[in-house]
Structure formats: structure tokens, C-alpha cells
Amino acid sequence: FGGGALAGRRVVVSAGPTYEDIDPVRFIGNRSSGKMGFAVAEAAALAGAHVILVAGPVSLPTPAGVVERVDVRSAAQMHAAVIEASADADIYIAAAAVGDYRPQQVAPCKLKKQAGAELTLTLAENPDILATLSAQPTHPFLVGFAAETHDVATYAQDKLRRKKLDMIAANRVGEGLGFETAENALTLYWEGGSKELPRASKTELARELVARIAERFQRARA
């Protein structure tokens, strides 16, 4: 093993949006670009980890050093891929923007417009990947992301406790930060502590984040 902070560790990173199909040509998605998650995967590899990247539908090249990339489309596929990859992982970093709902039924043929009429889509709730993992008796060190438009600290700390995470990385979306942007700013929370990572490129932030994760992980396992 090399000398990095995560040398010899197995790290799973999820990144990007999920697409929930409505019919063969339409879907419900979100504005995640995958850039933050891909930067985190690259930073973890740089820190010496064996990295598996589970990617939603994005057109980004696989970062240097990533050992395995699993491409998925829907939240259900991401759930299955992450659970499988996490079975023998030390750390799972959930940077994907997983759709909370999916159309209850996927229409086998393209839906036709009914002029003048409303269309109602019934949505079913998707399982929460982080919550599934944290409910398992043994599971990796869990890091979540919280993208919020307001009350960032309150929502992030609530999510940390509710999903029983080891760390959460919170960012305010909008104001030129967050989705579809090159820069971001994060506040990290864990039980009994927090740390501001000021505005920087996603590459720099990812390296900072991975350094903090390695530190907390080592304490948790010490």
C-alpha cells in the first residue's frame, strides 16, 4: 500500500442524479451534475483508497485511480449497486442526489397527450440507501450530503441523527454554489463537532473532505 490517509481502505462513492422513468422517452430527474461526487472519488483514490464509484446518468470521465465504476440510472438500481458494493467497504460516501420518488408505474408505451385534460402521475417513495445501510448491524462508516436552500445547519444535523450517519457534508444550493457549478462550500457535522470548508473548487473541497473523513474514520475505528 502507498502512504495515503486511506491506504488499503475500501471506499464506495455514489455520485450524480437518478432518473426515474415515466415512459420510454420521459423521466423525472434532478440537477445534480455528478461533479462533487466524482471529485470525491478522485480524492479518495489519491488518498490511497480502493474506490468503487456508483454513478447515476452523467457524462463525466471516470476519475484517475478509481478501480471500478458501476453506471446506474434509477434510484432502485443505485440502491442495489451501493448495497452490494458496500458489503465489504470501510467507508460509504453518499454524494448522489437520489430521487425520493419514482412513478408508481412505468408506462410500456409513450404516453399520449390528452388535449385539454390534466395528467396525474402517482409517485411511490424510493428506499433510502443510507438509512438501509445504517440499519444493518455492521456497515461502513457513513458519510451523507445535505443540499439545502435554507436552515442548512438545522436540517443537516437532523439528517445526521435521523439517518444515524457518522458525518454529513452540508451545502447551501443556489448563490452560484452547489448543483451544476464548479465551486462549492461545505460545512461538516459529526456527533459533537463541526468544520467549515470555505468556498473552493470542487476538487480542492473534495480533498479537504476526504482528509476530514479519514481523520474521523480513524478515530471511530481506534
- Residues recognised as catalytic: 30
Question: Considering the rule CB under 6 A, would residue 72 count as an interface residue with ligand C5P?
Answer: no
Question: Considering the rule CB under 6 A, would residue 39 count as an interface residue with ligand C5P?
Answer: no
Comparison of 6 and 15: residue with beta carbon closer to ligand C5P: 15
Dihedral in degrees, nearest 10, Cα atoms 23, 26, 31, 34: 70
Comparison of 10 and 159: residue with beta carbon closer to ligand C5P: 159
Q: Annotated binding residue at 88?
A: no
Comparison of 49 and 133: residue with beta carbon closer to ligand C5P: 133
Question: Considering the rule CB under 6 A, would residue 37 count as an interface residue with ligand C5P?
Answer: no
Phi, psi of 200 (to 5 degrees): -160, 175
Question: Considering the rule CB under 6 A, would residue 209 count as an interface residue with ligand C5P?
Answer: no
Question: Considering the rule CB under 6 A, would residue 206 count as an interface residue with ligand C5P?
Answer: no
Burial of 40 from C-beta contacts in 10 A (0-12 / 13-18 / 19+):
buried
Q: Annotated binding residue at 164?
A: no
Q: Of these, 51, 81, 91, 98, which contacts ligand C5P (CB under 6 A)?
A: 98
Q: Annotated binding residue at 24?
A: no
Partners of residue 28 on adjacent β-strands: 20
Least distance CB 98 / ligand C5P (angstroms): 4
Q: Using CB under 6 A, which of the segments 5-13, 101-109, 128-136, 203-211 binds ligand C5P?
A: 128-136
Q: Judging by DSSP bridges, how do beta strands 101-103 and 50-55 pair with one another?
A: unpaired
Q: Annotated binding residue at 1?
A: no
Burial track 168-193 (b if 16+ CB lie within 10 A, e otherwise):
bbbbbbeeebbbebeebbbbbbbeee
Q: Using CB under 6 A, which of the segments 3-11, 26-34, 56-64, 138-146 binds ligand C5P?
A: 138-146
- How far is CA 123 from its chain centroid? 22
Find cell 442526489 and name the residue: 97
Reduced to 3 states (helix: H, G, I; strand: E, B; else coil), residue 78 is helix
Instruction: Please count the residues of this chain forming the interface with ligand C5P, following the rule CB under 6 A.
Output: 13
Q: Are 168 and 189 in contact (CB under 8 A)?
A: yes
Binding site for ligand C5P (CB under 6 A): 75, 94, 96, 98, 100, 126, 128-130, 144-146, 159
